[in-house]
Amino acid sequence: MSVTYLSPSADQIEAILALEADGPLIMLNMLRFRPDGGAEQYAEYVAAATPFLAKVGATINYVGSVHGTLIGPGDEDWDEILLVEYPSKTAFLEMTGDPDYPGEIRSGALADSRLYCTQQTPRS
């Protein structure tokens, strides 16, 4: 049986809390939808989550369909990726920690996911 990832572990939350990052964070979301209406349910999640994103000043910068893997395991097929920019780690944690945040809709829509916390690297 394969392992799926739909929510962060306690250790992963602690790592974000301890992150010494000032300024905006870009969250890379890699999504695999459940075959029984997951894409439609995820669209419902996005609609429900949009006010929470706006409340903390976050924006969806990119949404794209995945058409194949060029480098990486051939058995990791993803349906969609999103890049979501948060003004800070505090904004991200505030949004996801809101008791009314619709995280259960997201989890119900997905067969598997990855969420990578990134920050732009200054180039000289």
Please name the residue that has the structure tokens 């809390």. 17
Residue 83: what pLDDT? 98
Residues of the chain with pLDDT under 50: 1
Q: What is the pLDDT of residue 17?
A: 83
Determine the pLDDT at residue 1: 47
Sheet holding 59-65, edge to edge: 59-65, 80-86, 25-33, 110-118
pLDDT at 29: 97
What does the pLDDT read at residue 48? 98
pTM of the model: 0.90
DSSP H or E segment with residue 96: helix 89-97
Instruction: Assign domain 22-118 to a CATH class.
Output: alpha beta
Q: Give Cα separations from 32 to 18, 42, 96, 111, 120 (angstroms).
A: 29, 10, 20, 6, 25
